Structure 1
Amino acid sequence: MHKLIASIYKEILLLSRDIGGIAILFIMPLVLIVTITLIQDSTFKTVVPVKIEILLVDNDKGSVSEIMIAGLEDTNSFKIIKINSEEEAENLVSKGKYQLAIVVPEKLSSDLEKKINQNVTTIFEKIGLSDSTDVSKEIFSKKEVKLYFDPATQFAFKNSVKNGIDKIISKIETQSIYAAFQKEISDDPTEVIFDTKSFISFTEILPNNNTGNTIPNSVQHNVPAWTLFAIFFIIVPLSTNIVKEKNQGTFVRLRTNPLPYTTVLGGKTIVYLFVCIIQFILMVLTGVYLFPIIGLPVLDVTGRLPLLFIVTIFAGLAAIGLGLLLGTIAKTQEQAAPFGATFVVILAAIGGVWVPVFVMPEFMQVVSNISPMNWALNAFYDVFLRNSNLIDIIPEITLLLLFFIITTSIAIAYNKNKNAV
């Protein structure tokens, strides 16, 4: 026990003398999480959506265009700017000044009304409810609502706009058909014969084990993700310190003491595990107190802290195991530092820290399952977003613990084999 305490004290001294390393471990993650969350917050906002300015060329100037404009404005996603020239609209969109321009064709409202009235009259004639003898049918040309998109516009945005406009036009056509039938059936325009209100509606429900619904926001996504990035980044100073001790002859002196390699690694594990916990605490404090001040959603950790600390401890152990293995195998600091930093970035990329796993290609979704960051991130999301209990996160924390045991065992075996006489 005395040797373990001495090893812990040695690691604390090494960390305290490395001011740059401390800055990387504690200050860099805080700057990173604030910056990324500010950038991504608009993506997650649901209460106050950002309005996109779009151009509208209204050549119809009738009821259809009025209803279309009202429908677009009701979504709270668009700000309509009316201009008179289709050529001007095309030019502005092509230069990237606006993402979208909508051109409503001439006589859209009048021709739609005539076409529907003609179809209704034909139906009444077929069933013998009309005395009309006019057999001539007017042929109407197909109307096209033109959509000019900025070439840089994302495919998902295009589909969303087209589907929204198609829904509005379909609703207009349906209501026009009802109005035409009512006009033929009743002479009283105030009489309500057909209920034109939508019969089917959609309600978005986020599954939750408790009675309340938790709506994910940018803070709930970014705090756990970038906390994990900071935790796993400790493999850089941890591995370089091990390499430095080997090159300076510290390990040789420890072997003459004698001091088991497990005790050396145990001291490092305990110290860096506390570093991980401190990193997590700083991230949580940032989410709870700093984010509301700068206009971001507050991080709600009510009733979740015990489970969050458990996930942090096991994620920290996984990161420490990786750092111990890298430091044991690497021969120089130039090997350990660049490889460690690059490997953390790769684990973060495939683990869902930068891009959510569900938007990745199918092959990458499979690959993400091998990243310990993905296991820890899923456990954090279970606690933050799904209100899971300890039983629910056991699979993830078990994988993290096994990862720590395997990597540490390999490090001990490698060191024993290398130093065997």
Structure 2
Amino acid sequence: MSYKIWMSVVKEFLLLRRDLGGLIILFVMPLVLVITVTLIQDSTFKTVSDSKIEILLIDNDKGDVSKTVFENLEKSSLFTVVTKIDNQPITEEIAKEAVYKGKYKLAIVIPSKLSVDLQAKIDQNVDKILSNMGLTDSVAKTVAPKIIKEKEVKLYFDPAVQLSFKNAVMSSIDKMISQIESKSIYKTFQNQLGEGNADFEQKSFISFKEIIPTINNKEVRPNSVQHNVPAWTLFAIFFIVIPLSINIVKEKTQGTFVRLRTNPSSNLIVIIGKTITYSAICMIQFYMMVAVAVFIFPHIGLPSLNIEGHLFLMSVVALFSGFAAIGFGILLGTVASTQEQSAPFGATSVIILAAIGGVWVPVFAMPKIMQIVAKSSPMNWALEGFYDVLLRNVSFLEIIPKISLLFLFFIITTSIALFYDKKKRTV
């Protein structure tokens, strides 16, 4: 029995050796992928801060508010304010056309008389409050308040910019305008109450502070490496579905499988041989990705992957992820009749599993229906297992449910493959 399994493993390695180019791609592709994606994601905000985004500012106000907005934008590490194009003042129409053509990412249009009308509105509100408190002249109550229309600060965005950028900019500008209004209200009260020298603190009273989890009194800050290495390692592991299914189809079309069946060995032996062989390939992929993240990332400006105390459990998750991928590949290769069926379907299905599993888009950001669907993806089980070990510092007992699901997926898919093969041969 053990000899037959060993010879089956040798046979699988001999098959793989015939396609060295494909085997190299199987190892090189995920390395290039994880380095490229992690570099892009990790350097996104660094790039923005190093190379400021030029934004257009159209100042129709010419008052204190627009001056404060300009100063705050200039102080920002993200933006460079542009008020002239070709030494000519920018109009709203010029700005609109420039932004919609993609020359600039954003244009801010400050309406006319914003400062004057804002102060007038605040004066009205303050007078009303003081009047209700009996602190103003009763004659002033007979004066009808002037109707002041609300003002709009217009924002023009390049249609190609992402929604997250829009939300961040709008939130930042809204906060800036709110601070300006608050400061004006304080000053108005000071003037009305004759407390011109009173020093009100303008610093925000309420602030937000992220509490970072600690291990051994050291803060553990998640970074792009800790998210990308598990995600793209899984992507690489599941991509063995393609060569595995193709090899099974080759065995059927070239008569190799028929010759194997004439020997006194069962199909189960063949599947065990494939499982051992491709499990070894999955683990080699995993350790290569980890080695690159630990030893090479720091030399290209990326954080090093901290695997201290995590490597064993990460290896366990990787092994069971490999089992799930192998089971899927065996099922696909058994059902497919030609390489033209197995290869495209294998590649497409892996991409779909990755998409719904949270490799590309976080599951929490998906619509509710897709969050439910994501729970059915073995990639999601595996990815959550990696996150539990690497980011949540869980114990072995706590990852048992996820690796059990992965192993169950392997058992179900291989059982279906065995049943289908037996059914097909007996018909």
Flag whether TM exceeds 0.5 (same fold).
Answer: yes
TM-score (norm 1): 0.90
1:300 aligned residue (274, 297, 306): 306
CA distance in 2, matches of 1:130, 1:31: 73
> Would the aligned equivalents of 1:209 and 1:388 in 2 still touch at CA under 8 Å?
no
- Secondary structure, in 3 states, of the residue corresponding to 2:159? coil
Change in Cα spacing, 1:108 to 1:333, as seen in structure 2 (3 Å) is closer
Which of residues 180, 194, 198 is equivalent to 1:191?
198
Which one of the candidate residues 315, 334, 343 is aligned to 1:309? 315
Tell me the number of residue pairs that the alignment of Structure 1 and Structure 2 aligns: 419
Q: Displacement, 1:207?
A: 5.9
* Distance in structure 1 (CA, Å) of the matches to 2:125 and 2:328: 73
Which position in structure 1 is the counterpart of 2:222?
216
Which residue in the other structure is 1:22 paired with? Answer: 23
Does 2:242 match 1:236? yes
Task: Tell me the distance in 2 between the aligned counterparts of 1:325 and 1:142.
Answer: 65
SS in 1 for 2:375: helix
Greater shift, 207-216 or 16-25, is seen at 207-216
Q: Could you list the per-position Cα deviations for residues 68-97 of structure 1 after superposition, in whole angstroms to 9, with x for gaps in the alignment?
A: 234445553322222332233223212211
Conserved in 2, the CA contact under 8 Å of 1:209 and 1:386?
Answer: no
Match of 1:182 in 2: 190
Q: Does 1:151 align with 2:156?
A: no
When residues 17 and 41 of structure 1 are mapped into structure 2, their CA distance, relative to the original with a 3 A threshold, is same
**TM-superposed deviation, 1:132:** 7.4
SS at match of 1:300: coil
403 and 47 in structure 1: CA distance in 2 versus 1, 3 angstrom threshold = same
Equivalent position of 2:178 in the other structure? 170
The amino acid of 1:289's aligned partner reads F
1:94-173 alignment runs, 5 A limit: 94-131=100-137, 133-134=139-140, 135-136=142-143, 137-173=145-181
Percent pairwise identity: 60
Which aligned pairs between 1:323-334 and structure 2 lie closer than 5 A? 323-334=329-340
The structure 1 residue matched to 2:90, chosen from 85, 91, 94, is: 85
Say if 2:122 and 2:185, in contact at 8 Å, map to a contact too.
yes
Contact map agreement 2:324 2:409 (CA 8 A) in 1: yes
Structure 2 runs not aligned, ≥5 long: none
Moved more, 94-103 or 204-213: 204-213
SS in 2 for 1:103: strand
For 2:161 and 2:47, the matched residues in 1 are separated by 21
Residue 344, structure 1, aligned to residue 345, structure 2: no
Matches of 1:322 and 1:197 in 2, distance apart?
58
SS of the residue corresponding to residue 83 of structure 2 reads strand
What secondary structure does 2:203 align onto? Answer: coil
Contact 2:48 2:78 in 1 (8 A): no
C-alpha displacement at 1:53, in angstroms?
Answer: 1.9
| Cα offset, 1:104, TM superposition | 1.9
Deviates more, 1:176-185 or 1:213-222: 213-222
Corresponding residue number in structure 1 for 2:420 = 414
Equivalent position amino acid for 1:30 in 2 = L
Kept in 2, the 8 Å contact 1:351–1:368? The answer is yes
Preserved CA contact (<8 Å) 1:56 1:103: yes
The structural deviation recorded for 1:48 is 5.2
1:287 deviation in Å? 1.5
Distance 1:74 1:378, change over 3 A: farther
- Cα RMSD over matched residues? 2.7
TM-score (normalised: structure 2): 0.88
| Greater mean deviation of Cα atoms: 353-362 or 148-157 | 148-157
Instruction: Give the superposition deviation at 1:169.
Output: 1.6
289-298 or 279-288, larger mean C-alpha shift: 289-298
Tell me how far 1:374 sits from its aligned partner. Answer: 1.2
Helix, strand or coil: the match of 1:25?
A: helix
Q: Secondary structure at the match of 1:370?
A: coil
- Farther-moved stretch of structure 1 (254-263 vs 83-92): 83-92
Q: Which secondary structure state, in structure 2, belongs to the residue aligned with residue 386 of structure 1?
A: coil
CA contact (8 A) 1:210 1:387 kept: no
Tell me how far 1:197 sits from its aligned partner: 3.0
Q: Tell me whether 1:386 sits opposite 2:387 in the alignment.
A: no
